[in-house]
Copies of this chain bind each other. A is one copy, B any other.
Amino acid sequence: MTAPIRAAIAELEAAFPRERLTLDREKLEAYGRDESDLGTFPPDLAVAVESAEEVRTIFAVASRHRVPVIPVAARSGKSGGVLALSGGIAVSLERMNRILEISPEDLVARVQPGVVTGVLQAEVEKHGLFYPPDPNSLEMCTLGGNVAENAGGPRALKYGVTREYVLGLTAVIPTGEIVRVGKRSIKGVAGYDLTALLVGSEGTLAVVTEITLKLLPRPRHVSTALVVFGSVAAAARAVTKVLTAGILPRCLELLDDISLAAAAKTSPYKFPAGAGAALLVETDGNDEEGTFGEIVRLAEVVQEDAQGEVIVAQNESQRRDIWETRRYLSVNLKALHPMKLSEDIAVPRSRIPEMVERAKAVGARLGLVVATYGHAGDGNLHCNVLFDRAEERPRVDEAVGEILRIAVDLGGTITGEHGVGLAKRDFLEYEQGAEVVALERRLKAVFDPLGILNPGKMFPPA
């Protein structure tokens, strides 16, 4: 432990009640890990804050001693955003987990950043309301983390990502200001859109301490269908036909042949021989007939590209059966190969077949299996590189690098919803170019002139 860290810890011990500080080595290890598989980088200290003012205190101490500050909540991120690369102070938001307000009249919720996404969803549903973003980890991830990463999920196709629901934020910036940005009204264009700038900034510009979210009325009916295709190309064709027919499902989940073969192991459905891809589709709405009618219309539109009959769930139990096909996919893939690195790219919709093919070819060339599934409606694909032994990791990293570059070359992005973090910081410039990255670094310096907030994330060290 360096002298500045020791001095900072001493000051924070004086400023905070003892039970809010974590200094225990083992517990700190847990603060230095997430779902990224990038290793463990523990902070030197974790402070469980309860207010914006307390975050400001931490920034003051950290600025004085030039030590890193890393915001941390559920640690369910996939890009290494919470790893304390060079130690420092973890600002834990776990105690700031109160839902401050749910207003059915304004269709607005105000929450602290440590509220678990699924908890808010359950709570607003009691009022007949709906908070759409549904990252896979919604039972454990927090809204603060969702804001940091601009989290998506399957329903993003119809409902958009986290950014579309954040009306306003209270945030503490490293220079010590507590700022309220955005609004409570649905519309508003005063000043620069600092809210949008903070959403997705991956905890590198500010620590968010309160979030004002837009809610929707809860759609009362959902219809679900499963469609099997001979190839990803046929499935992608069907996706385009569905969307240009003016049908906007709430999700359009794609499985490629390997994913489908893995899913088949536990799916209640028998897929026809030659099944090369599948789409899992849901429509929703307030009118039961209309919602079911839309999925029937969708089934008609995709039928000519499909293999066999479109399976439309006729009741809740059939709906669950269809989701089983998707739910155990990750587990089933791991049964094929014990290790897996899941990538998160997005491409223009028309490039999906080419992306899937080329990712597979990259794997083949390197002796690795690549299974792709994801949110076909918005082109956000998870390319899973499967492998068996840790020693294969260098080849896996090579494959991942190539996959990211292909996504960019096809007009897409290195990350559709998981963020850059540590995982992809070396690829940001390939996507954005040196001038944009330089501009982003200058913007970061406005918020964080000393470079103490979450250093080493999003950008490679200068």
Contact A348 B108 (CB under 8 A): yes
- Kindly provide the distance from the CB of A238 to the nearest chain B CB, expressed in whole angstroms: 13
In the complex, what's the smallest C-beta–C-beta distance from A203 to chain B, in angstroms? Answer: 12
**Residues of B close to A156: CB separation below 8 A:** 187
A391 contacts the other chain (Cβ, under 8 Å)? Answer: no
Is A173 engaged at the interface, CB distance under 8 Å to the other chain? yes
- Is A401 located at the chain interface by the 8 A CB criterion? no
Task: Identify the closest chain B residue to A413 (Cβ).
Answer: B188
Contacts of A245 in B (CB 8 A): 217, 286
Which B residue sits closest to A374, measured CB to CB? B187
- A219 → chain B closest CB, angstroms: 6
- Chain B proximity of A281: nearest CB distance (Å): 16
Please give me the residue from chain B that is nearest to A345 by CB atom: B185
Total residues of chain A contacting the partner, CB 8 A: 93
Q: Are A177 and B435 in contact (CB under 8 A)?
A: yes
Report whether A185 and B293 are in contact in the complex, using a CB–CB cutoff of 8 Å: no
B188 touches A193 (CB 8 A): no
Residue A96 CB within 8 A of the other chain: no
* A193 lies within 8 A of B185 (CB): no
Residue A436 lies at the interface, judged by CB distance under 8 Å to chain B: yes
Q: Per-residue CB proximity of A176-188 to B under 8 Å, as 1/0?
A: 0111110111111
Complex formed: what's the CA distance from A444 to B194 in Å?
12
B196 contacts A197, CB within 8 Å?
yes
Given A161-B189, A196-B196, 11 additional A-B pairs, CB 8 A: A105-B240, A160-B164, A178-B435, A184-B412, A187-B378, A189-B413, A190-B414, A193-B201, A217-B246, A287-B293, A290-B290
CB-based closest 9 A-B pairs: A196-B196, A188-B413, A186-B378, A217-B246, A246-B286, A185-B346, A105-B350, A187-B416, A106-B348
Offer 6 A-B interface pairs, CB within 8 angstroms, sorted by A: A156-B187, A185-B413, A185-B416, A192-B443, A194-B439, A287-B297
